[in-house]
Structures are given as C-alpha cells and as structure tokens.
Amino acid sequence: MDGNANIVDRGRDPGAGQDSMDNVDLNNPELYINRELSQLEFVRRVVAQAEADSLPLLERLRFLCIASSVLDEFFEIRVAGLKQQEAYGSMQRGPDNLSPTDQLRHIGNCAQELVEEQYRLLNDVLLPELDDEGIRFLPQDHWSEEVRGWLENYFNSELAPIISPVGLDPAHPFPEPLNKSLAFIVTLEGKDAFGRNSGKAIVQAPRSLPRVIRVPEELASGPNEFVLFSAIVSAHISELFRGMTATGCYSFRVTRNSDLFVDEEEVDDLLRALEGELSARRYGDAVRLEVSNDCPDDVVSFLAAQFRLSEEEVFRCNGPVNLMRLAALPDLVERPDLKYPGFTPSIPRRVRSQDAMFDAISKEDILLHHPFESFAPFVDFLRQAARDPDVLAIRQTLYRTGTESAVVEALVDAANRGKEVLVVIELRARFDEAANIELATKLQSVGAQVVYGVVGLKTHAKMCLVIRREGDSLTRYVHLGTGNYHIRTTRLYTDYGLFSRDRALGDDVQKVFQQLTAMGKAGKLKKILQAPFTLHSSMLEFIEQETQRAENGESAGIYAKMNSLIEPDVIRALYRASQAGVRVELIIRGVCALRPQVKGVSENIHVRSIVGRFLEHTRVFCFENGGDKKVFLSSADWMGRNFFRRVETCFPIEDKKLKERVFSETIDCYLEDNAQAWELQSDGTYTVKKYKQTRKAAQERLLDKLSA
C-alpha cells in the first residue's frame, strides 16, 4: 500500500501524544485489508507449502489438495454471498469500502492466479518428483496392453453399470450436476437407435466411485502406479454411445451456493427445516465452473451459459478438475519416508490412571495442549462420569463431533445408565448439519435431552459440565476448550482443553447451560466472558487498559493468537494502543483485516501466520496487566460473528504455572518461529520468515517437548 503516508500527517511525530493521535482517521478504508482477499492470501500460503522441498513429498501433495478444499468453501460461501449482494443491488460495504462488484473482480483475478499456480506446481514439480519415487499416474498413451485390458474390464464391470449418460435433446434437458461433483460433457457424431443426434451428452460420475485407481502390481512396472477415474471414462466413453462416435470427452465441475437459509422466526421445528434445506444445498445457484484445459472454447461457452456464468467465472484446469480427489494418494502409498513422521500424543502423568480423573482434577487444574497431548483424558473423563454412581448429570455442547465417536458413545452410555444427560447440539455447524441431525436423533433415542441452542445465534462454545455428589454437597467438574469435541481433529488441529473444579467456573458454566436451555438470563458471570454479552466489551476494555498504561509511561503489551481478526472496533482499539506505544503481537492463522506497520498508526503491531503440519486453531488472548498477566483461552475469534451472532465462552487461566505455560507454548514459541512463519506486510501480502542460523519451528518444538 503506497498510500501509507497519506493516512497520517507526514510531519507527525509518532510519540507526539494524544493530540497527534486524534488527527488520524482510524475509519480510513486504507487502514483495512479486505476480508476476502486476506482469505485468498491464506490459500496462497497453503499452496506455497506444496513447493517447500523441506517438507515430505506426499505431505506437499496433501497441502495442494487442502488449498483446493479451502477454495471450494470460499466460493460456496463467501463468493456466493457477494454474488447475492451484487444481484440484489446491496450497498453494504465493509471497513475497506469495497463494493461487492469490486470484491468479485479482485477475487476473480486472484483466484485465477492461484489455480494456475496450483496446476503449475502439480505438473512441473510434484508429479515429476513423485515419478522419481516410483509413484506415478499413467496417462492413456502409457498403458500397456495388459493394463489396457484390465482397465477395460474395470470400466465394464465397475463403472458402466452405474453411470447414466444423458443425451441432450428437448426430452432430455441439461441435467443439474450436484455441487462439486465430477461430470463430463461429450461431443458426439452420428445418430442413436432412435435417430436422435443433439451432438452433446452429459455423463455424471457417481460420488461413490474412487477417483484414484491402483493398477494391479502384477501388471504394473512398480507397486505404486495409478490411473485417474477421468482417464478411464475418457478412454471408454464411446462404449456408452454405441452406434455413435464420441469426438471429445471433457471433465467439468460446478460449485454452487451452499449457504443454508432458514427463517428461524417462521419455523416451528429447526431440525425438520434444516433437513429440507440440506437437499437444496446440492443444487444452489452456480458460482464457479471448472473445466479441463483441453475443452474447446465453444463447449466451454455452452457450459457457462447453462450455469449462467460469465467467462471470468470459468476456471480452466490443466490436470484433474478436482485436485482434492488426489488427497487419497498419500493414504494409498506405503512410503513413510515421504510423509510426516508418526507421533504419539502424551498423557500427563497425573491422569494416566484410567480411574483417577476426578481425583486428579480435584488436586489441581489440568491443561491439555492438543495434538501434542492426547485427547484421551477427556474421553476417560466422560466414561468415568457415565459409570460413576455419584455422578448425577452431564451437560455438554457439541458443534462438530461426528456420530461414530467415543464422546458420543460415552454420552449414550451415561444416558442408558440413568444419568441426566443434556446435550446442546448446534445443527447449523456448516457442512456438518446432516451429521448433527443424525447425532441428535441418536442421543434422543436413548433418553438424552437434546436442545439446539438459541434462535438467531450459533452455539459455538466448547464446554462440558459433570455434576457429582461428594459427601453432603454437589461438586461441579468442568472442561472448557478452544476446539471441537471431535476425535479426528484433535490429532490435526492445535487446541487447548482445561479441566477444573473451580467453584466459580463451575457456577458460570452451569448458568450458561441454563441460559441455553431454559431461555432465562444467566445473570452476571464471575469468571467467564460470554458472547454475545460481555466478550466484545471486555476485550475492548483490556486493550484500553494497556493503552492507558502506555500513555502513563508504563510497560504495556497485547499478545493474541486466533484464526481470524476482522472486527473493526477491536482493530481501531489496537491501532490506538499501537499509537500509544503498546507492543502488539498477533499470531493469526487466516484472515486479518488489520494493516500492520503503517507509519503513525500501527508501527508497534506485528502480525504473523503459522502454516505447518497442524492446523492452528488455539485462541489465546494475553494482556501484560502491569506485570500480572491476564491470560484467556476462548472458543471465539475476534470477528463480528463470534462477538455478536454466536454463543461463545472465553475463560481465564489463573494458575500461575499454567498461565506461564500457555504464554510460553503459544506466544513465545510462535514468536520465535523462523521456519513456518509468514509476516503480514502493510500492503496485505505475506513474506515468509527464513531462518539464518538455528531453525525454530514452533510445532516441531512442541512435538519434541510434549509428545510421548
């Protein structure tokens, strides 16, 4: 951003005090990075991992696939929303002041560049390196007679019986392919048995069929030779149109608007309404068309017209149309040397005894840092609660967990044993709605009480409460976390989980559950900061306290780690803190609308993003507080939706040792990272931080320190 100097008076002394600070318009759109373009910068950082030859080869391919998955969701939700705003003539603009049309134009240019880079890396870097390792995809002109015969038999026995080609004519209009499903457009010559010839047909690929097929080792020149589903279909496409000649077969995929809409004020049963919406998601309005690079221009134009998309919304793919399908390859190849080394999450010594969770929590608060430390203690906690005759009730929130889960099994067991089990399930957890509907039905069938949160708000808080009779009183044991109760993601995401029997914390959690289920007010909470009530104002208050200290000449600092930062009030507060001299260190994985290092505004703010083996998911907020640090863990990012449209919890870490541990492992360690860190520049781009001497990668250091 070359206009930094225009934001403030050129001659202003950064240390000139409040009068000079007041001269800066902190609402200036140039001080804000567009949310959507920031998200694409995150995709760019993920794509860059595919080129990093310091990483294992198959993991680099996996990163390329992850980038495609992120882009898919970006188009399904963010681009779809902007297209709707544009269609309705919306005048809504964010702090950056870009209109929906301006954003869509910038997104189109940036996304096209990203897609071109993805396929360049695939074709010029990854596939040749995989080939060197004996892992290869066989193109049709490399099929031996033996392989060709096997593939013909595979097509006739496995594919042809369940593929239904549709010739296009007035009786067979253009079908509506499912969202993100692979399809083929076939150009034809000749007439069929009924004398019809429209010249085109559509073949939809069943989603149940694998997209990567291993060639039998006895027919291949090595153990790891594969053929793509699309190559098999293209080679045998004429067999689906006997008597006609297929002159071309081109793969394509359409991405559709996948944001569900339910008018919660007009529905009586949210579960039933969502069930109806889920089927509509598959056929929403088209927002992107991907086609194989060899598809003729006239065929591309025909497809784009069917989906009412412009030329700018068409993406030509120089390779498999859906790169995400290649993510199956690392699991099909037994090459540990080309993958991340395995690790075993550790279990703290004081909770290793499977029957001692309540005793261990009674002695002191227990903090687990996933995935370096195991999620098993939480599962043991629930299982023990289910079996313990002194446990009377279990309360839990579930946002994403899956129906086949040890967590769910423990809750089912507790309900079957007569415990009072109450589960708050967020049905609207995006792309997990169907699983959560099934989960709700499963829990209700065993007698658990299931509620769906609050109308108009998503319940995003991660909390569990176990009420246990101990002597003549009831004791509340709580687990609060930054991440979901999902067994699989606890091995892939970084998150914190806290066990405690602190009375005030237990009272707060119980009040929040009562608020979610009984529609009453929770009253004033003693320790937990809750969205949509106190979290936003509290964060602003803590930032302002650091600002005041800096203005008084005291040491002041703000350290925060989260997934996204876009809420404008918080950004303005951080700008004012920086102007006052507060050190602001932000570790933000994805979207960041704050513009750091702007003269006179954000010179004291540094923003970095860590992209590594694990998805960074911890939310940690720390404030110097005059030498007595305030440390909070949270389920919420600093975004408007988290502050105002979700039920979130943010809880303090008060034990001195645990407080020091969180700061050391999540702030110090990540600020020292010189191997996987990207630093945000004032123009909105990121530069990778390269180590000059000792390599320090935060995730690797935590693996060494914490895993078994």
Q: What CATH number did the domain enclosing 223 receive?
A: 3.30.1840.10
| Same domain, yes or no: 135 and 166 | yes
From the candidates 369, 370, 460, 617, give the one annotated as an active-site residue.
460
pLDDT recorded at residue 10? 28
Total domains, the chain: 3
Confidence of residue 572 (pLDDT cuts 50, 70, 90): very high
| Same domain, yes or no: 149 and 292 | yes
| Same domain, yes or no: 428 and 475 | yes
CA distance 544 to 404: 46
Burial of 44 (0-12, 13-18, 19+ CB in 10 A): middle
Mean pLDDT of 74-83: 92
Domain assignment present for 17? yes
Q: Which residues contact 503 (CB under 8 A, 6 or more apart)?
A: 476
Q: What is the pLDDT of residues 583-635, one digit of tens each?
A: 999 999 999 999 999 999 999 999 999 999 999 999 999 999 999 999 999 99
CA distance 231 to 151: 10
Nearest to 375 by CA among 493, 509, 460: 493
Domain assignment present for 701? yes
Mean pLDDT across the chain: 90
Domain assignment present for 635? yes
Domain assignment present for 15? yes
Asked if pLDDT for residue 39 goes beyond 80, the answer is yes
Residue that finishes a domain, picked among 492, 509, 524: 524
Asked if pLDDT for residue 267 goes beyond 70, the answer is no
Nearest to 391 by CA among 366, 358, 368: 358
Asked if pLDDT for residue 166 goes beyond 60, the answer is yes
Q: Which residues contact 32 (CB under 8 A, 6 or more apart)?
A: 94, 95, 96, 568, 571, 593, 594, 595
> How far is the first Cα of the chain from the last one, in angstroms, to the nearest whole number?
46
Asked if pLDDT for residue 677 goes beyond 60, the answer is yes
pLDDT recorded at residue 636? 97
Asked if pLDDT for residue 135 goes beyond 50, the answer is yes
| Same domain, yes or no: 592 and 498 | no
Per DSSP, 554 falls in state -
Cβ proximity of 160 and 240 under 8 Å: yes
Domain that holds residue 393: 351-524
Residue that finishes a domain, picked among 462, 495, 524: 524
pLDDT recorded at residue 270? 45
pLDDT recorded at residue 259? 73
Domain assignment present for 425? yes
Task: Calculate the alpha carbon distances from 693 to 491, 671, 674, 704 in Å.
Answer: 30, 16, 9, 19
Mean pLDDT of 122-135: 97
Confidence of residue 167 (pLDDT cuts 50, 70, 90): confident
| Same domain, yes or no: 573 and 692 | yes
| Same domain, yes or no: 537 and 682 | yes
Residue that finishes a domain, picked among 287, 311, 338: 338
Q: Verify whether residue 369 is a known catalytic residue.
A: no
Give kind and range of the element (H or E) at residue 656.
helix 656-662
193 or 210: which carries more pLDDT confidence?
210
Comparing 170-184, 383-397, 604-618, the range with the smallest average pLDDT is 170-184
Lookup: tokens for 446: 């065993």
CA distance 398 to 435: 11
Q: What is the pLDDT of residues 18-30, one digit of tens each?
A: 445 568 999 999 9
Asked if pLDDT for residue 16 goes beyond 70, the answer is no
92 or 445: which carries more pLDDT confidence?
445
Mean pLDDT of 143-171: 90
| Same domain, yes or no: 26 and 114 | no
- What type of residue sits at position 104? L
Rounded to 10 degrees, what is the CA torsion of 699, 700, 702, 708?
Answer: 130
Lookup: tokens for 93: 């603009």
| Same domain, yes or no: 237 and 383 | no
| Same domain, yes or no: 230 and 311 | yes
Confidence of residue 196 (pLDDT cuts 50, 70, 90): low
| Same domain, yes or no: 118 and 135 | yes
pLDDT recorded at residue 208? 86
> Per-residue b/e over 616-626, b at no fewer than 16 CB within 10 Å?
bbbbbbbbbee
Task: Calculate the alpha carbon distances from 551 to 513, 538, 547, 588, 605 in Å.
Answer: 41, 20, 6, 26, 16
Domain assignment present for 84? no
266 or 482: which carries more pLDDT confidence?
482
| Same domain, yes or no: 270 and 357 | no
266 or 375: which carries more pLDDT confidence?
375
Domain assignment present for 657? yes
Q: Report the DSSP beta bridge partners of residue 204.
A: 183
Answer positive or negative: Cα dihedral of 316, 318, 320, 322: negative
The DSSP code sequence of 437-465 is HHHHHHHHHTT-EEE--BTTBEE---EEE
The DSSP code sequence of 43-64 is HHHHHHHHH-TTS-HHHHHHHH
Q: What is the pLDDT of residues 309-339, one digit of tens each?
A: 999 999 999 999 989 989 999 999 999 999 9
Confidence of residue 441 (pLDDT cuts 50, 70, 90): confident
Domain with residue 472: its CATH number is: 3.30.870.10
485 or 708: which carries more pLDDT confidence?
485
Confidence of residue 492 (pLDDT cuts 50, 70, 90): very high
Asked if pLDDT for residue 389 goes beyond 50, the answer is yes
90 or 603: which carries more pLDDT confidence?
603
Cβ proximity of 368 and 342 under 8 Å: no
Lookup: tokens for 434: 């169907």
Mean pLDDT of 697-704: 96
Comparing 103-107, 203-207, 247-251, 610-614, the range with the smallest average pLDDT is 203-207
Domain assignment present for 564? yes
Per DSSP, 173 falls in state P
Which of 239-253, 395-409, 543-557 is most confident? 543-557
Asked if pLDDT for residue 17 goes beyond 70, the answer is no
Asked if pLDDT for residue 343 goes beyond 80, the answer is yes
Q: Report the DSSP beta bridge partners of residue 463.
A: 480
Tell me if the bond preceding 532 is cis, omega within 30° of 0. yes
| Same domain, yes or no: 520 and 536 | no
Cβ proximity of 249 and 182 under 8 Å: no
CA distance 485 to 118: 33
pLDDT recorded at residue 194? 59
Asked if pLDDT for residue 429 goes beyond 60, the answer is no
